[in-house]
Chains A and B, each alone.
Chain A
Amino acid sequence: MGDDAVRVDGLTVRYRGASADAVSGMDFAVSAGEVFGFLGPSGAGKSTVQNVLTGLLRRYRGSVRVLGRPLPDWGRDYHERIGVGFELPAAFGRMTARENLDVFASFYGGPTADPGRLLARLGLADAADRRVGTVSKGMRMRLNLARALVNRPSLLFLDEPTSGQDPVRAGAMREVIRSEAERGAAVFLTTHDMRTADELCDRVAFVAGGRIVAVDTPQGFKRRHGRPGLVAEYDGEDGRPRRRVFSASGADAGELAALVRSGRLTALHSREAALDEVFAEVTEVRL
């Protein structure tokens, strides 16, 4: 990870006619080569921040620097450097996937990715010459990602990129996104999919009520919100399944070792929290 690709200080947004701020005094930074997750309940302000950073929303207060320059100092050239993958498919339905990429690639002045290779990379080689309106939502979402990558962006904004994908495709998409970060792109990821956030993000910010309430690595969150120790699952003397918590202090390490040696141990778990639990705890979302 390198220099800050995005630095936001005191970002505040209030929509016309609204009585409260949609985003209130938000601070964060995203480094080049980092995947930064932006998580939070619906209406927390995630889309508003993304709209500010992509230049769609210009009425804000605070300081926003992107790719080394204050955002207002960028002209439309800013869009040469960024890629945006929307939450829902966005493409010409009557054109093929390849034609869509060709059309969008033609809008950029810099080098662009080869549409055929890009489609193959996202598992769309077979659908490259089919009209987008006739393919599945999952395929259109992969085309969304392909379109966002067509200009080889330095800063990539992705909103629910794995939506509509089966687990295998979702994993493949996560690999593509990770490789973009390894290439040096900063990735700003908005998602409700905690598995994607957990596997993909270097850091995660939880947003609630227009504010960032916590920032850490996924592992850091899970450790902090978990409990120390290990949970052992094993077969009891009577053959029935049992469960026991061993402390992290090592006080009962001998008993755990004996259990392992006995051959009755069936599973051993840490007691760190899942990111879903962290989400609920940090953002205080309750049903």
Chain B
Amino acid sequence: MTARAVPAAPGSGGGPTGRRLRAAVRAEAAVAWRYGVVGLAAALAVLWSLTLAALPAPGAQRLLPLLLFVDTAGFGALIAVGLALFERVERVDAARGTTPLRPWEPVVARVSVLTVLAAAIAVPLALASGVPLGPGAVAATTGGVALTSVLLVAACLALGGGAATLPGAFLRLVPGVALLITVPVLHLTGAVHTPLTFLVPTTAGAELIRLGTSVGVSGAQPAMPVPPVPAVVAAAAWRAAGAVAACAWAARATAPSADTSGHPSAPPRGSGAGAGPAPGTRRAAASGSASAAAGTGARPRGRRPLLMFLRFDLLPGRRDALILVGLAAPVLLSLVLRVGYPPMAALVQSAYGFDPASAAPPVFAALILLHVPVITGSVVALRFMEEADDGALLILRASPLPLRGYIAYRSGLAGLLALIGLAAAVPLSGLAPPASAGLAAAVLLAAAAGPLMVLAITATASNTVEALVAVKALAAVSVLLPVLAWTLPDPAVWMLLAAPPAWALTVLPGFPGTGLPPALVLACGVLWTLVLCVVAARRTEARLES
């Protein structure tokens, strides 16, 4: 066999660690490319840039720092977790664990690649918003995004990388990163003026974004004192320490080790948490019992296998956090809005002289009406893809449970969760217009987007990572596009109806309106959603059977 000598890259420097790190970054870049992460970054950059360009310049410039902090800097957070979980399915983590790479090197590579993509998204967004961008402003803006991204991605990897499933990872992430996001947002909006906010390391990144995007923009931000140099240095050092700690934590959480249970290379235990079979195995056992019954002559009648699976899937304690996440997230979101929105609106009015009451319908539409089905649809779709990844779906397909029944059940579950979530979140949020036939029709139409979200993801993604990429892209399309209706002229609104979630807005009180009666909109919207659901379900079925 011919051996290849390792070329000593002239001038590359850094010694063995630098060489390994470069190799890890190259590998990570290849992964990001192949799993569609780079394409997603480009798509989000285009979508958000178009949105900012469509908004009036002052509004776009006000929105920009929040958008860059919350969405752009957090771009890689969930994707990093998805990649970590999927690498466990593909056993790449175990294979990499037997190479000379140190455990922290793949983590640094992953954080770096996702951070570079986040910083790259920031530039067109800033340009589209009309913010004057000199070299200093670009450096501050992209630097702030990058600093925040490092912390968020590493923290999410640390918190969620060790979870068994994506819904389980979400449950760990939400409380873990809540402070890292809310405190800087309060700082950015000027709701809180205290140096104590810098105790949260992401606030330094948010401050850099604020500085970068407010240069030359009069009145774009509420007046805030310029921080003294020692404070900036201290904040930077604190943030750097936070980034290093988060990366080290992430390396520890994601490094393959047979010392702990749950890793594929770990031997089975006689007892304890690792003793039980994997979720997929348990699901297989459930369907297997149905098969066994059939084999003894007690053939299940009619839809019995589907009912057995449903019972197994939903009973508390037998599965992970799917239902909990699906039900809790909308309630949590609406409670946060109920508590946080009034003071935030008052603050915006006092700081900018802008009355946010006129923006209440689009805010309600974006954050509740369109967002809740996206949440429930995403959670269910990710469960679907996990079942495909771990082979459980293959086993189910060989059981009496029909594939179409499974697809219908999963998409129906998303619709039901969306309806329950909206029924709770709409009144709880405090943002909803008064009850009316229009609002009821809007809720029904919005809930119908839950199943479509599931089927659109399963029809386009072939693994969990691609599903996460699809979630991010479809969420932007499902929430962002319809809300543009408030800023677009009438003829363009009709074009937005190609996206089924937009139908829900047309009957929402406060919408500029198509003038159609709610019953007609409900019928047409449901029909259009159903057509797309059938197309997506067929494509999903074909993909699974091919």
* Interface, chain A (partner B; CB < 8 A): 15-19, 22, 43, 47-48, 51, 54-59, 76-77, 79-80, 82-84, 86, 88-95, 99, 103-114, 117-118, 121, 133, 147, 149, 151-152
Query: CB-CB < 8 A to A79: which residues of B?
Result: 98-101
B463 interface contact, C-beta 8 A: yes
Closest 7 pairs between A and B when the two form their complex, measured CB to CB: A90-B91, A106-B23, A90-B95, A51-B258, A84-B98, A111-B3, A57-B258
CB distance from A38 to the nearest CB of B (A): 14
Report the Cα distance A152→B5, complex, angstroms: 12
B5, A111: Cβ atoms closer than 8 Å: yes
> Are A107 and B267 closer than 8 Å at their CB atoms?
no
With A57-B258, A114-B4 known as contacts, the answer to whether A108 contacts B95 (CB < 8 A) is: no
Residues 1-27 of B, flagged 1 when their CB comes within 8 A of A and 0 if not, give 111111000000000100110011011
Q: Which of B30-38, B69-77, B452-460, B478-486 contacts A (4 or more CB under 8 A)?
A: B30-38
Write out the residue numbers on chain B whose beta carbons fall within 8 Å of the beta carbon of A108: 6, 99-100
Closest to B105 in A: A107
The answer to whether A17 and B4 have CB atoms under 8 Å apart is no
Among A47, A59, A152, contact of B3 (Cβ-Cβ < 8 Å): A152
Q: Do residues B100 and A77 form an inter-chain contact, with CB atoms below 8 A?
A: yes
CB-CB nearest in chain A for B24:
A107
| Interface contact A88-B91, CB-CB below 8 Å | yes
CB of B259 within 8 Å of the partner chain: yes
16 contacting pairs across A/B (C-beta < 8 A): A16-B259, A17-B271, A22-B267, A51-B258, A51-B265, A56-B97, A56-B98, A57-B257, A90-B90, A92-B90, A104-B96, A104-B99, A106-B23, A113-B3, A117-B2, A151-B99
Q: Does B397 contact A (CB under 8 A)?
A: no
Q: Which residues of B contact A54 (CB under 8 A)?
A: 98
Provide the residues of chain B in CB contact with A47, threshold 8 Å. Answer: 265, 267
* Residues of A close to B97: CB separation below 8 A: 56
Output the residue of A57, A89, A91, A94 with the most chain B CB within 10 A: A94
* Residues B271 and A86 in contact, CB atoms below 8 Å apart: no
Q: Does B318 contact A (CB under 8 A)?
A: no
Please give, as numbers and ranges, the residues of chain A lying within 8 Å of B99 by CB-CB distance.
79, 104, 107-108, 151
By beta carbon, the residue of chain B nearest A94 is B34
* Interface assignment of B230: CB less than 8 Å from any CB of chain A: no
- Report yes or no: A99 in contact with B30, Cβ–Cβ below 8 A: yes
| Distance A251 CA – B98 CA, assembled complex (angstroms) | 58
With a cutoff of 8 Å between Cβ atoms, the chain A residues found around residue B270 in the complex are 18-19
Residues in A with CB closer than 8 Å to B260 are 16
Q: Does residue B278 face the partner (Cβ distance < 8 Å to A)?
A: no
Centre residue among B4, B23, B91, B264 by max chain A CB count within 10 A: B4
Output the nearest chain B residue to A159 by Cβ-Cβ distance. Answer: B265
| B-to-A contact residues, CB < 8 Å | 1-6, 16, 19-20, 23-24, 26-27, 30-31, 34-35, 90-92, 94-102, 256-260, 264-272, 462-463
B269 & A112 in contact (Cβ 8 Å cutoff): no
Task: Judge whether A43 and B272 touch: CB under 8 Å.
Answer: no
Q: Are B258 and A109 in contact (CB under 8 A)?
A: no
Q: Are A114 and B1 in contact (CB under 8 A)?
A: yes
Besides A86-B91, A149-B1, 9 new A-B residue pairs in contact (Cβ under 8 A), listed by A number: A22-B267, A51-B265, A91-B91, A103-B30, A106-B27, A108-B6, A114-B2, A117-B1, A133-B462
Q: A56-B256, A147-B95 are in contact. Are A92 and B31 (CB under 8 A)?
A: yes
A18 neighbours in B (Cβ, 8 Å): 269-271
CB closest residue in chain A, given B36: A94
CB distance from A43 to the nearest CB of B (A): 7
Asked if A91 contacts B100 (CB within 8 A), the reply is no
Contact for B92 among A76, A91, A152, CB less than 8 A: A91
On whether the beta carbons of B102 and A15 are closer than 8 Å, the reply is no
Rounded to whole angstroms, the CA-CA distance of A59 and B267 in the bound complex is: 14
Report chain B residues within 8 Å CB of A86: 91, 94-95, 265
Q: Judge whether B258 and A76 touch: CB under 8 Å.
A: no
**B259 — which chain A residues lie within 8 A by C-beta?**
16, 56-59
Q: Which residue of A has the minimal Cβ distance to B266? A: A51
B94 pairs with A90, CB closer than 8 A:
yes
**Min distance, Cβ A191 to any Cβ of chain B, angstroms:** 16
B residues near A83, Cβ cutoff 8 Å? 98
Within 8 Å CB of A88, what residues of B? 91, 264
- From residue B377, how far is it (CB to closest CB) to chain A in Å? 24
Tell me the smallest distance from the CB of A42 to a CB of chain B, in Å: 9
Query: With A57-B257, A90-B90 in contact, do A121 and B27 touch (Cβ < 8 Å)?
Result: no
User: Which chain A positions have C-beta within 8 A of B96?
Assistant: 104, 107
If A43-B267, A56-B97, A90-B91 touch, whether A105 touches B30 (CB-CB below 8 Å) is no
- Residue of A43, A56, A77, A94 near B265 (CB, 8 A) is A56
Chain A residues contacting B24 (CB-CB under 8 Å) are 107
Q: Complex Cα distance A90/B23, Å? A: 19
CA distance A93 to B463 in the complex (A): 10
Given the interface pairs A17-B269, A56-B256, the reply to whether A114 lies near B100 with Cβ below 8 Å is no
Q: If the complex has contacts A15-B269, A86-B265, A118-B1, are A91 and B16 also in contact, measured as CB distance less than 8 A?
A: no
Are A76 and B101 also in contact (CB < 8 A) when A91-B95, A94-B34, A117-B2 are?
yes
Q: In the bound complex, how far is the Cα of B228 from the Cα of A120, in angstroms?
A: 64
Nearest to A47 among chain B residues (CB) is: B267
When chains A and B are docked, how far (Å) is the Cα of A93 from the Cα of B391?
14
A92 near B92 (CB under 8 angstroms)?
A: yes
Contact A92 B98, beta carbon cutoff 8 Å = no
A76–B6 touching, CB < 8 Å: no
Write the nearest CB–CB distance from B157 to chain A, whole angstroms: 18
Known: A15-B269, A57-B259. A110 touches B6 (CB 8 A): yes
Report the bound CA distance from A56 to B4 in whole Å: 28
The answer to whether residues A94 and B100 also contact, given A43-B267, A51-B258, A114-B2 and a CB cut-off of 8 A, is no
Complex: chain A residue closest to B27, CB-CB: A103
Contacts of B268 in A (CB 8 A): 43
Central interface residue in A18, A76, A107, A111, by most chain B CB within 10 Å: A107
With contact pairs A17-B272, A57-B258, A95-B34 given, residues A104 and B95 touching in the complex (Cβ less than 8 Å)? yes
The docked-state distance in angstroms from the alpha carbon of A245 to that of B34 is 65
Residue ID in chain B nearest A180 by CB atoms = B1
Q: What distance in Å separates the Cβ of B206 from its nearest Cβ neighbour in chain A?
A: 34
Cross-chain contact A112 with B3 (CB below 8 angstroms): yes
A106 to B16, CA, bound (A): 12
| Whole-angstrom CA separation of A117 from B1 in the bound complex | 7
Contact B271 A56 (CB under 8 A): no
Given contact pairs A90-B95, A114-B2, A107 touches B23 in the complex (Cβ within 8 A): yes
Q: B98, A113: Cβ atoms under 8 Å?
A: no
Residue of A nearest to B2 (CB): A114
